[in-house]
Chains A and B, each alone.
Chain A
Amino acid sequence: MRTARIAFAIARKDLVSEWRSREMVPALAQFVVLALVIANFGFQIDAKSAPSIAPGVLWLALVFAGIVAFGRAFTSEREQNTLEAVMMTGAPPSAVFAGKAIGAAAVLIVCEAVLLPALTLFFGTPLSPGLVVAVVLATVGMSALGCVFAAMVAQMRARELLLPLLVIPLWIPFIVAGGQAVQVAMGANGTIDEALRLLLVLDILFVVLTSLAARFVLDD
């Protein structure tokens, strides 16, 4: 109960701060739309090629938007020395980590709300419930991993370089399963359930592992 209260308070604080400063969401939303526009002009897109190109474009845009969102989540806390003030309250590190991950995931989900309709517009990807669930499930696991590594590198000088180097290889399973979900949504063989099940298993695995690692990353 205490953990949930603290996580909620941290996520709420991050979202209120973002709402007032509007630092990230407008820039990230613009970025994902620009990525689609570039892909639209860069590739020869027709009904035949779209199903094989769209998943790659979607996940590339999401991966790079995620890197920025998760990196910012901890960098601003370290810069303002606010994370230490939070840790000095005796709040459990796993709760602090969960709150930061929920806040960053919510920012990314807002970007996805722009990205998915844009994908439909440029690539004709049907906006099915299965696809939306797949993207949200992938966001959960990616947030957990992204935030733990963002916390780890936040104090380092080369953090902008290190974060993608550390986290993108670990995001590959999400990209593979998420890409499969997009292809199925665009008419490829197979069912979306298989991809969703894999994403759920990955979410559980990485949320548990990163929560256990939070103590060592945030407080030691």
Chain B
Amino acid sequence: MSAIVAEGISHWFGSEPALDSVDLVVERGDHVAVLGENGAGKTTLLRILATALRPSAGRLEIMGLDALKERARLRTRMAFVAHTPGLYPALTAEENLAFHCSLRGVDRARIPEVLGMAGLANVAQRRVSELSRGMQQRLAIARAVLHEPLLMILDEPDASLDAEGADLLAEVLKNRTAVIATHNQALATRLCPRTLTLRKGRVLGAGSRLRIVQ
């Protein structure tokens, strides 16, 4: 069974088409990079795959479930790292994670583990407003893996991350299915064997790492 099967996914914002009949199949354990210039529809596609946005048309199946009808169930098995970290500035890094543990019903014993993985153990007690943008992004990634998701949808996760950030992403994606939107060709090549390129909401091409290198 494929992790994601998207058929004819289209989306309009008013009369403006953002996605036009996009097809995508992602196998379990596969990593797919979504590439394209600004306004190509990468974020819209990722938000639809993450169930944050309902497509105007098309069929979407994620882990064998109808993604339009089973959103609540799917969200417990997947994680979405949006373009902005979505953290509470007045709370500490640890409190932000503890809050999400409460929402997801995850044991708080996971917090030191994910903070350590993200390289944030020494700033656990600092408020998010005092953390750099890169640290906030690391925290958002740490939050995304609290519940051990099977599928990760990441929208430009490398934004604001330093060179070591790519190592963190590689660690996070290990043994998981992932779809990543990025402008960083080097990151896409390193993390994702497959790519999907969008232009003006349409699939321009799909390929493997070998084809990109060629």
Nearest residue (CB) in B for A220 is B54
Q: Mark A84-123, 1 if CB is under 8 A from B, else 0.
A: 1111111110000000000000000000000000000000
Please determine whether B103 and A81 come into contact, CB atoms closer than 8 angstroms: no
A84-B82 CB under 8 A given contacts A6-B103, A90-B76 = yes
Q: Is the CB of B72 within 8 A of A92?
A: yes
With A17-B90, A21-B90, A90-B75 as contacts: A85 and B82 at CB distance below 8 Å: yes
Interface of A, secondary structure class, is helix
A-B contact count (CB 8 A): 68
| Residue interface mask B49-93, A partner, CB < 8 A = 1 | 011101000000000000000011111100110101111111100
A1-35 interface bits toward B, Cβ cutoff 8 Å, 1 = contact, 0 = none:
01001100110010011001100000000000000
Query: Which of the 9-residue segments B34-42, B94-102, B193-201, B202-210 touches chain A?
Result: B94-102
B104 at the interface (CB under 8 A from A): yes
Q: Is the CB of B90 within 8 A of A20?
A: yes
From B84, B89, B103, give the contact of A89 (CB < 8 A).
B103
* Residue in A9, A21, A80, A219 whose CB lies within 8 Å of B87: A80
Q: With A91-B103, A220-B54 as known contacts, state yes or no: A13 contacts B88, CB within 8 Å.
A: yes
Tell me if A49 is interfacial: C-beta within 8 Å of chain B: no
Closest chain A CB from B105 CB (angstroms)? 7
A9 touches B99 (CB 8 A): yes
Residue from the set A80, A86, A90 with the largest chain B CB neighbour count within 10 Å: A90
> Which of B72, B80, B87 is packed against the most chain A CB atoms within 10 Å?
B72
Distance A123 CA – B91 CA, assembled complex (angstroms): 41
Q: Which residues of B contact A5 (CB under 8 A)?
A: 102, 105
Query: Which residue in A20, A88, A92 is a CB contact (below 8 Å) of B52?
Result: A88
Q: Which residue of B lies closest to A18 (CB)?
A: B90
Chain B residues lying within 8 Å of A155, measured Cβ to Cβ, are none
Nearest chain B CB to A157 CB, angstrom units: 15
Nearest CB in chain B: distance from A81 CB, A: 4
For chain B, the bracket of interface size reads 20 to 34
Q: Which of A2, A16, A90 contacts B90 (CB 8 A)?
A: A16
B residues sitting closer than 8 Å to A (CB atoms) are 50-52, 54, 71-76, 79-80, 82, 84-91, 95, 99-100, 102-105, 127, 143
Query: Can you list 30 A-B pairs with a CB-CB distance of less than 8 A?
Result: A6-B102, A6-B103, A9-B103, A13-B88, A13-B91, A13-B95, A13-B99, A16-B90, A16-B91, A16-B95, A17-B88, A17-B90, A20-B91, A20-B127, A21-B90, A80-B84, A80-B88, A80-B89, A81-B82, A81-B85, A82-B87, A82-B88, A84-B82, A85-B82, A85-B87, A85-B100, A88-B79, A88-B80, A90-B73, A90-B104
Q: Given contacts A13-B91, A84-B86, A86-B103, could you give 18 more A-B pairs where the C-beta distance is less than 8 Å?
A: A6-B103, A9-B99, A9-B103, A13-B99, A16-B91, A16-B95, A17-B90, A21-B90, A80-B89, A81-B82, A81-B85, A82-B86, A84-B82, A88-B51, A88-B52, A88-B79, A89-B103, A90-B74
